[in-house]
Amino acid sequence: MNGFKQIVQSNRVWLCLDCGKCSSVCPITRHVVDCYTSPRLLVETAIGCGEAEVLDDPLLWSCLTCNQCTEICPSLVSFSDFIQNVREAARDQDRSGDCTHGGMIQTWGRMMTDPELKQDRLDWIGSGLKTSEESDTVYFTGCLPYYDAAFEKLDIEGIEIARSALKILNHLGIEPIVLADERCCGHDQFWQGDMAAFRKLGEANLEILKRTGAKRIVTTCPECAWTLKHTYPDTIGDSGMEVLHLAELLAETDLLDNLTINPDTAHKQVTYQDPCRLGRFSGVYQSPRDLIQGLGYELKEMDHNREASLCCGTSCWSSCGQVNKKIQVERLKEAKSSGAELLITACVKCQIHFKCAQNDPVLEEEVQINIRDLTTLIAEQL
């Protein structure tokens, strides 16, 4: 276990004591009403108080690790990394975040660490979509089949995103490898500080991926993309493969150049939600916007967009409550006030969290806006 002092030192968070810009943009600070909590205050606690006070700080498990703080930080402090390190240390003391969704998602993640596990996860491919045993491209499905089953009631585009991705890749002449024994990438385990589960998942995935002999991994989940591209090499090992979110791959192709624009979508006003791991983490802002405009939509930006974009309100399933709901409602209202009639995102989790917030019977029309994934919109027009 890293001592808290070492965590403070390695993340240079002492710099936060003289600043506080992070606290001015933190969505948790803005919405927590029963006490004051902020990134700077947590750092102050970590430096000036004991471990117990840090472990009890309300920000420790509610932090979205959305990186809005880092984006504005003049000293390039990664507060999200600091939070991840402290959560890892907190795990050693049997502390964890909220048990959201009855622990279902964390549990299936841990079940996937079993090397003997024989999943039955390829049923969704069906007929009409082409995959192959050998290809230079792997399509990493992530937990889409699982989310599809778990959030059926929210009417999310779960497995439809994966089908659409295959349709698009096939359209480009790519018949990717889709792995039958792929595991959860471990993003959520990593950000919850559960390094034991994360390492097992990562090691299993790296072994499977290397065995394919492919050169490139394409995914439709920004969290999988970030984890495979950055977290694995930093903590477990490098697959040696290029990792791309589908939006990044499509930006390099002429897929939309010869597209006949559907009159139903032409000039329809839409807005785009930058997923944290695709936007602030990976710096991919323009490619999804080019694709949206390439489909004939008129893009109306929300007040907070690109680097200043707001998170969908929940991260790594470690908190779900009043504050998260407030963030989701704030963002949905912003989407509506942009004048758009459709909210497009490129991450299934944004869709899950927004659709969940839309279920509130009290809010009704205030937050009602159609939500779609970029991948399924593109596939529809091919």
Please say which residue, 101 or 215, places its beta carbon nearer to other proteins: 101
Q: Which tokens go with 150?
A: 């778990």
Site for other proteins (CB under 8 A): which residue of 118, 134, 252, 362?
Answer: 118
Residue 208 engages other proteins in binding (rule: CB under 8 A) = no
- Please report whether residue 110 would count as binding other proteins according to CB under 8 A: yes
User: Which residue lies nearer to other proteins by CB, 112 or 291?
Assistant: 112
Alpha carbons 9 and 5: distance in angstroms, whole number: 6
Residue 119 interacts with other proteins (CB under 8 A): yes or no: yes
Report the nearest approach of other proteins to the CB of residue 189 (Å).
14
Question: C-beta of 227: minimal distance to other proteins in Å?
Answer: 20
Cβ closer to other proteins: 49 or 99? 99
**What are the residues whose beta carbons fall under 8 Å from the beta carbon of 285, sequence distance 6 or more?**
274, 279, 306, 307
Under rule CB under 8 A, residue 152 binds other proteins:
yes
Nearest-CA neighbor of 133 among 250, 211, 229? 211
Token reading at 254: 């002429």
Backbone Cα Rg of the chain? 21
- Site for other proteins contains 150 (CB under 8 A): yes
| Amino acid of residue 337 | S
Residue 100 or 265 with smaller CB distance to other proteins: 100
Task: For the CB of residue 181, give the shortest distance to other proteins in the complex, in Å.
Answer: 10
Q: Is residue 104 close enough to count as binding other proteins by CB under 8 A?
A: yes
| Site for other proteins contains 154 (CB under 8 A) | no
Least distance in angstroms from the C-beta of 164 to other proteins: 19
Q: Which of 4, 146, 281, 297 binds other proteins (CB under 8 A)?
A: 146
107 binds other proteins (CB under 8 A): yes
Does 196 engage in binding with other proteins (CB under 8 A)? no
Could you tell me if 78 and 70 are in contact, meaning their C-beta atoms sit under 8 angstroms apart? yes
Binders of other proteins: how many residues, by CB under 8 A?
22
CB of 148 to other proteins, least distance (A): 8
- Cα 322 to Cα 263: distance, rounded to the nearest angstrom: 41
Q: Determine, following the binding rule CB under 8 A, whether residue 101 of this chain makes contact with other proteins.
A: yes
| 103 binds other proteins per the rule CB under 8 A | yes
Distances, alpha carbon 63 to alpha carbons 91, 100, 255, 292, 310, in Å: 16, 15, 38, 30, 13
102 sits in which H/E element: none
Least spacing, CB of residue 112 vs other proteins, in Å = 8
Alpha helices in 11-72 (DSSP H): 21-25, 27-31, 39-48, 51-56, 59-62, 68-72
CB of 232 to other proteins, least distance (A): 23
Give bridge partners of residue 216 from the DSSP assignment. Answer: 137, 242
Q: How many CB atoms lie within 10 A of CB 314?
A: 25
Burial level of 170, CB count in 10 A (0-12/13-18/19+)?
middle
Based on the shown chain and the rule CB under 8 A, indicate whether residue 30 belongs to the binding site for other proteins. no
The one among 31, 44, 51, 108 contacting other proteins by CB under 8 A: 108
Indicate whether 382 belongs to the interface with other proteins (CB under 8 A). Answer: no
Question: Which residue of 145, 176, 275, 296 would you call a contact of other proteins, by CB under 8 A?
Answer: 145
Residues 6+ away with beta carbon under 8 Å from 39:
16, 22, 23, 26, 29, 59, 63, 69, 79
| Closer residue to other proteins, CB minimum distance, 166 or 270 | 166
Q: Least separation, in Å, of the C-beta of 180 and other proteins? A: 10
Taking the C-alpha atoms of residue 310 and residue 66, their distance in angstroms, rounded to an integer, is 8
Binding-site ranges for other proteins (CB under 8 A):
99, 101-105, 107-108, 110-112, 117-121, 145-146, 149-150, 152-153
